[in-house]
Amino acid sequence: MGAVIEREEWALTPLAYPLLSAASLAAVLLLPYFSPPLHATGAVNSSPSPFDVGTTPFLRFRRTFLFVFSLASVAEGIHSVFGEDEFARCGLGREQMAARLAAAAAAALFLGGFSGVVSDKLGPQQACIFYWMLQFAVGAFKSFSGLRCAWINNVILALASSMFSFCFETWIVVEHEKQGQKQDLLFDSFWLMTFFESLSLVGSQGITNLLVNDDGKGFLLPYAFAALLSIVGILYIRKNASSTTQHASVIGSHQKSFFAHVFRDKRVLVLVLAQASIHFSMSAFWFLWAPTIVADGRDAQLSLIYPCLLASRMLGSASFPWFYGATAPFQNEDSLTIAFITAGISLSIVAYDYQEIGTLVILFCIFHACVGFILPSLARLRTMYLPNELRGGMMSFSLGLANAAIFIFLMQGAYHQNVANSTILGLAACGLVVAGGCIHLLRRWRKHTRQNTRSL
């Protein structure tokens, strides 16, 4: 008589995602009522919505910008929904997957590093158009099942993802300065970008599930839809190309300015290391979260856990405006330090202490809530300490450091299998804790500067 093997399945509570989403929306909608002086100096914001603060031209731009940025986030999400399953459908083994991902990290390291300088030279709108062109190329190639597994797709997508990190942020900063808006409005734009990005990534999963079809048909609708979004993005930016000024720097002067404001300024170097640590930890998490879950031995529906993680990130970004400004319970850098250390502790528990799936999901949600808070906080600090014409180069440099570490661990850990997954997560956790310490030093330097009445 044959043995019957019972398979136990772990299920996420149905209330998790609605509760996280409701908490995020409450944080957004209740903000004007509980912190009225947050958006103005000397005047109380009478608007019941954070989307209606500012002059009419800037509001019009920001709404359309968030729409285009959300389209870009949906395109990013469509390419990342399938993940490892896409490589498996192409018949690739573990070592081949690692080689593809390592090649993508190398492309982001070398080509992505130059893309930041080129973005600073050409201006944010041209950089965004180039980003959309890269997305269109990947979407067009992957639309045909015969080209979906081509190496070039991983390289182009890695370069596009690197540019996504800074080109849209630079665009909103340049437009904000052009219209002479208050700085608080720019900080609102940063957390709204993170909020809408997370929301769009959840939407991209639903769109992909709706459009997915049989691979044997030879034409993949989700990727064709991503290519269509790219065309919409290019047409919109070209139509409004005259609304934003562009940088007029040359490479030589940019190089001198970059060395002066980045390599010789310890405050900016701190931000470089902090950005590199959060990017590396996020990449390590998305590489390893699924193997960590299934290592429990029980079945779990990862597609239901994924939106729960992004909802936690939405909650973290929605909590950002509650923790900066004169009414914040802590100093701005103190809140960011706590977020870095909390994210590091959550990953360290996952790395070095076995937990059951429910505890893992809670720790993952805490990590993503911290990420949602950290990203707009770092964008705020970049605005305070870095000239706008160097933003792309500085961010691509920090991403280059993270991509170098990702390349090394992909080759040693996934390809040669010399480094355990727990070690990678542990190093990511250590990087986050160290970044938290660096931000604490930044606060001390700022306090010392104020005591000596010197300008930042």
pLDDT tens, 226-236? 999 999 999 98
Q: Is residue 391 part of a domain?
A: yes
Residue 312: other Cβ atoms inside 10 A: 27
Q: Which pLDDT does position 214 carry in this prediction? A: 60
Q: Is residue 143 part of a domain?
A: yes
Name the percent of the chain lying above pLDDT 70. Answer: 83
Q: Give the number of domains in the chain.
A: 1
In the numeric block, which tokens belong to residue 214?
Answer: 């049989």
- Let me know how long the chain is: 456
Q: Which pLDDT does position 340 carry in this prediction? A: 96
Q: How many angstroms separate the Cα of 224 from the Cα of each of 162, 233, 238?
A: 22, 14, 21
Which residue has better confidence, 37 or 144?
144
Q: Is residue 39 part of a domain?
A: no
pLDDT-wise least confident of 56-60, 322-326, 372-376: 322-326
C-beta of residue 176 within 8 angstroms of C-beta of residue 185: yes
Instruction: Give the domain range for residue 397.
Output: 10-28+56-451
Q: Is residue 293 part of a domain?
A: yes
pTM of the model: 0.88
Q: For residue 417, what are the contacts with CB-CB under 8 A and spacing of at least 6?
A: none
Reported confidence tier of residue 447, pLDDT bands at 50, 70, 90 = low
Helices (H), 39-92: 56-81, 84-89
CA angle centred on 319, ends 267 and 205, rounded to 5°: 100
Q: Which pLDDT does position 212 carry in this prediction? A: 79
pLDDT over 80 (residue 217): no
In CATH, what number is assigned to the domain containing residue 264?
A: 1.20.1250.20
User: What is the C-alpha to C-alpha distance for residues 163 and 156, in angstroms, rounded to an integer?
Assistant: 11
Residue with tokens 């239901």: 304
Which residue has better confidence, 426 or 256?
426
pLDDT-wise least confident of 154-168, 239-253, 383-397: 239-253
Q: Which pLDDT does position 280 carry in this prediction? A: 94
In the numeric block, which tokens belong to residue 348?
Answer: 């360290």
Residue 453: other Cβ atoms inside 10 A: 6
Q: Is residue 51 part of a domain?
A: no
DSSP 9: E
| Phi, psi torsion values for 40, nearest 5 degrees | -150, 155
Name the percent of the chain lying above pLDDT 90. Answer: 27
Residue with tokens 């964008």: 379
Q: Is residue 80 part of a domain?
A: yes
Provide the mean pLDDT of the chain.
Answer: 81
Which residue has better confidence, 29 or 225?
225
Query: For the residues 369-381, what does the mean pLDDT come to?
Result: 94
Which residue has better confidence, 303 or 241?
303
Reported confidence tier of residue 84, pLDDT bands at 50, 70, 90 = low
Q: Which pLDDT does position 227 carry in this prediction? A: 92
Q: Is residue 2 part of a domain?
A: no
C-beta of residue 374 within 8 angstroms of C-beta of residue 343: yes
